Amino acid sequence: METTSLYVMRLEEAAWGASLIASTMVMHGIGMLTTLRATTALKMRVEGSQSLVLASGPLVLGAWMITLVHLVEVGAWAAFFHWKALLPNASICYAFALMTYTTLGSEYYLPLDWRLLQGMLAMVGLMDVCLVHRRPSDPGRWIPEAANRTLVAGQGNGCRQVASRSPLRTRSRVAT
C-alpha cells in the first residue's frame, strides 16, 4: 500500500516566509535606488563624450549593480536555508535559492514542512524582476501612481506593463 505525505502549512513557515519576502523587497528597493543614483551620476559625468566606451559606462554599471543586488537577495534566502539546515550544505543552499529565485527549478527540494518557502522564493524573484524591468529609467515612480493606471499587455519580459490614464502624469520630451 502506497502512502503519501500530507502537507500542512505551519504558522512558523508562513511567518519566516513573510519576513524573508519583506527583507528581500527592502534590499531590492535600496539596491535599485542606489543603482539609479550611481548610474545617473555616471551618466552626468560622461554626458557629451564622443567615446562609445565611456557613453556605455552607465549601462554596464547598472547591469552589474542590478545583478549584484539580485545575488545578494538570493544570498539572504540561502543563508536562511543553511541556518535552518534545510539542505546539505551552503553551496547547495545558494544554488537551490538561485535556481528557485529565477524559477528555473532545482533537483533539490526543501523538507516537506518548509515547502511553502519554495513558492514564496519564486514569487519574490518574479516580483523583483518585474520591478526592475518595468521602467529601468525610473523604477519606483509607478508605486504612488498605481491608482491612476490601467493594465495593458507586457512587451516580452514576462511582466505586465501599465499605462497612465491621467494626462497630468505624462511627460513630454523636447528635442534640444
The per-residue pLDDT for 6 is 73
What is residue 143's three-state secondary structure?
Answer: coil
Q: Is the pTM of this model over 0.85?
A: no
Per the document, the length of the chain is 176
**Whether residue 83 has pLDDT greater than 50:** yes
The per-residue pLDDT for 14 is 94
Q: Give mean pLDDT, residues 82-88.
A: 96
Domain regions of the chain by residue span: 11-137
Q: What phi and psi values does residue 150 have, to the nearest 5 degrees?
A: -120, 140
Answer yes or no: are the C-beta atoms of 16 and 120 closer than 8 Å: no
Q: For residues 162 and 171, give the distance between their C-alpha atoms in angstroms, rounded to a whole number.
A: 15
**Tens of pLDDT along 22-48?**
999 999 999 999 999 999 999 999 888
Any bridge partners for residue 151, and if so which? 162
User: In the chain, pLDDT over 90 holds for what percent of residues?
Assistant: 48
**Tens of pLDDT along 107-152?**
899 998 899 999 999 999 888 877 655 554 554 444 434 333 433 4
**Whether residue 81 has pLDDT greater than 50:** yes
DSSP letter at 107 equals S
Q: For residues 171 and 152, give the distance between their C-alpha atoms in angstroms, rounded to a whole number.
A: 19
